[in-house]
Structure 1
Amino acid sequence: MTVEVIRAAGLAGIAHGFLGRRGGVSTGVVAGLNVGSGSEDNPAAVAQNVRLACAAVLPGAAMARVYQVHSEVAVVAEEWAMDERPRADALVTDRPGLLLGIVTADCAPVLLADREAGVIGAAHAGWRGALDGVTDAAIVAMEGLGARRERIVAAVGPCIGQASYEVDEGFRERFLAADPSNARFFRALPTPHFDLEAYVLARLQAAGIGAIEGVGLDTYADEQRFFSYRRATHLGQGDYGRQFSLIGLAP
């Protein structure tokens, strides 16, 4: 099966893609394009999936990844070895030929670009990182390389949808304490359900960037297309795959 690459209209002309599980070589509960080194998958299969993913977005490019920890930390990307990756959840670059990679399994991947400046970024926005401002940190880091926020376009990729994201009152109260207007991102069904994509889009809009979009795809609800940590937990599978979101500047 061919690697599926989901692209955002606002990032047209820039090598990028939100990838799911289609087109990889892994088997079992992580069948497909699993790129999660933290899974119990065969490391050789994970490495092959990483190669397939990169080739589908920017063939021949080098890869930069971070050790994701649900933080608001953004760094300038380098070709770190896997065991030397900094603990961060966003990375930026102005270097052609370097793919930025973010791994998710329900959290929101965010890809950003200022075409004129030749600066790109990628962020991993779980609820904690999103609330703490990881997308704001990514934008500031891009500005440090010469980007201007009014020129930045951003896209939020597949993540857990509101209908699938049941939370408790303590979770909801965290967001209301930060800003009472965050109540609009919760719906009672009858327990609270959180709209992660809408929240991340709102944070990007509040940052004053040029354009934003969301792909509107629910990782939990589509088992054939996406990995999902929450779905795997609910099914008692014991392991789960991770999917890539990638962006790079062509050499």
Structure 2
Amino acid sequence: MSNQINHKWQWQTWEGNSYLTCNLLSNWKHGFFTKQFYPRTPEDLSLILQPNTVAYRVKQVHGNLVLTSQEIANTIQEGNSSKSFPDGDAVISNFQQQSVWVASADCTPLLIGDIVTGQVCAIHAGWRGTAQNIVSKAIARFLDFGSKKKNLRVAIGPAIAGSVYQVDQSVAIEVGQTIIPGATDKTDSEILAELKQLPKTPIFDDELPGKVRLDVPRVNQIQLELLNINPEYIAIAPFCTYQQSERLFSYRRTGEKKVQWSGIISK
């Protein structure tokens, strides 16, 4: 069953539980799963999307390392009897019928697919990973595998909204300088001022001194556009993890270390 939200996003149901899909990724089995599926693992969720697929994930560390499914498999096979996962924050497929996964609560999950090669990637982009240009690193790996930017489709899943995400100004500057030309030669005040002047600004005033509100999904969107990804091929989910407690976990809201998973299967 599908429940249309707008022309790009739909709610799907499985055994009465909801997960989100994006029509930009209609070529692939995928889903941004809600807290209703907790504590199912990617291995379980892959079976919901498509049987007979192998799930790949990493131990997320808020960095910018993008690993292939083969690199993950090699790491686990090298004497890792406990099947501990390698550090990383994005997974890109090597072959067909591989599902790649990331977990999030307030951080930004992104799913990317190449409509020609069928290759896919799942990205965990918190503010730290965003400040380290993890999306750029993921796009670079697509290009290394022969992708063309015009063939990439990007869905940015539910995350904490900029209107409620209070951060220190220093955090906003660290993240924001990735989308300000010549930021290394500019003062903090100049960077903040330029961020506020951007169309659909990712930064908002806060009532507390030294604080601002930061829209991390929007920063990732701008980063993609600066990489010459067509804006028509980028979609941001209209849902906030902090504000929509009935469907989504939020660490900022509850302090609980619970996550929802987002995954996509290569073709």
TM-score range, shorter chain: 0.7 to 0.9
Query: Between Structure 1 and Structure 2, which shows a larger proportion of strand residues?
Result: 2
TM-score (norm 2): 0.77
Note the alpha carbon deviations across 1:7-38, whole angstroms, 9 max, x for none.
Answer: 1111112111111112x3xxxxxxxx23xxxx
Aligned partners of 1:177, 1:8: CA distance in 2, in Å? Answer: 29
Q: Which deviates more, 120-129 or 142-151?
A: 142-151
Distance 2:149 2:93 in 1: 15
Matched with 1:182 is 195
**Residue number in structure 1 paired with 2:164:** 164
Partner of 2:262: 245
In the TM superposition, residue 176 of structure 1 has moved relative to its aligned partner by 5.0
Work out the CA distance in 1 between the residues paired with 2:136 and 2:21: 22
Q: Deviation at 1:223?
A: 1.2
Q: Is the 8 A contact 1:119 1:146 kept in 2?
A: no
Which of 189, 198, 218 is residue 218 of structure 2 equivalent to?
198
> Whose radius of gyration is greater, 1 or 2?
2
1:245 CA displacement: 0.5
* TM-score calculated relative to the size of structure 1: 0.82
Superposed CA RMSD: 1.9
Unaligned runs of 5+ in 1: 25-32, 35-47, 234-238
Please say if residues 101 and 245 of structure 1, whose CA atoms lie closer than 8 Å, have aligned partners that are also in contact.
Answer: yes
Q: Which residue of 1 aligns with 2:125?
A: 125
| 8 Å Cα contact 2:42/2:101 also seen in 1 | no
The unaligned stretches of length 5 or more in structure 2 are 1-14, 77-81, 181-190
Whether the aligned pair in 2 keeps the contact of 1:157 and 1:215 (CA below 8 Å) is yes
> What is the match of residue 3 of structure 1?
17
SS at match of 2:155: strand
Q: CA separation of 1:50/1:90 partners in 2, compared to 1, >3 Å: closer, same or farther? A: closer
Q: Percent identity?
A: 23
**1:108-123 alignment runs, 5 A limit:** 108-123=108-123
2:103 counterpart SS class? strand
